[in-house]
Amino acid sequence: MAKTWLITGTSSGLGRVLAERALARGDRVIGTVRKPSALDDLKARYPEQLHVLELELTRTEAIRECVKAAFEHAGDIDYIVSNAGYGLLGAAEELSDEQIEQQLATNLVGSIQLIRAVLPYLRRQGGGRIVQVSSEGGQIAYPGFSLYHASKWGIEGFIEAVSQEVAAFGIDFILAEPGPTETQFGASVNYADPHPDYAGTPADEVRSGLKSGGFKLKGDAERTVDAMLRAIDQTKPPFRLPLGSVAYENIHAALTTRLQALEAYKSEAHSADKV
């Protein structure tokens, strides 16, 4: 049975591939973009299945208007995919106030407000599935990506709580956590102006590696989306979905290290209880 999707950030990357896959299998897609012309080719191929809406994710009222228009157009929507976002690279000290505000407004607040906007509609229709495209960076951290990680760790914490709040309404979530993947993510990264004191530091090495192409991207965008689709189509999907061997290994190592550190501190933790 054909499904209906609302996908943000469909002009490129995983959002674009996901929209293409959904349309190719006969589903209906409402795709949001900042420039509607970015989907002209898909609209020509799927004039009846694809509906394009313009959305600036940093404007909360625009998000609400877009969500309202999507549900008015489609009626019920099965899958909401919060995909739009970008990377910000630079040591924390190098970042400007404007860069910090824009990163959090887009990746964190924008994703939060999108989810908040769709919840009333999903409740009224009796359920639905929200897919948040996070990152391995929602559970691990690279030097130089502090604000990007703040946005991804933040949205994962938000969804951890909200998923418990709305489960009784038949609404569930998937946190998709891809590792380094061949998309246009690197081309859209916003760079801070480098500070000379950070030359040769880990943050600078990551910056140099990304700009030079030395930062290896093992993930394949189409295979990543295929794995996402398999999970999304499940009756009971995984809450967290690591995507790519790099994501799996990095997340596994980070969780193992944190668990070992936690267990080593067990007696001290218990000592803080009332006697």
CA 253 – CA 24 distance, rounded (Å): 37
CA 189 – CA 183 distance, rounded (Å): 12
Is 236 catalytic? The answer is no
Is 148 catalytic? The answer is yes
- Looking at residue 177, its amino acid is E
Catalytic one of 134, 135, 146, 151? 134
The crossing angle, in degrees rounded to 10, of helices 13-24 and 221-232 is: 60
Alpha-carbon Rg for the chain in angstroms: 20
CB contact burial 128-167 (16+ within 10 A = b; e otherwise): bbbbbbbbbbbbbbbbbbbbbbbbbbbbbebbeebbeebe
Is 198 catalytic? The answer is no
Which residue numbers are catalytic?
A: 134, 148, 152
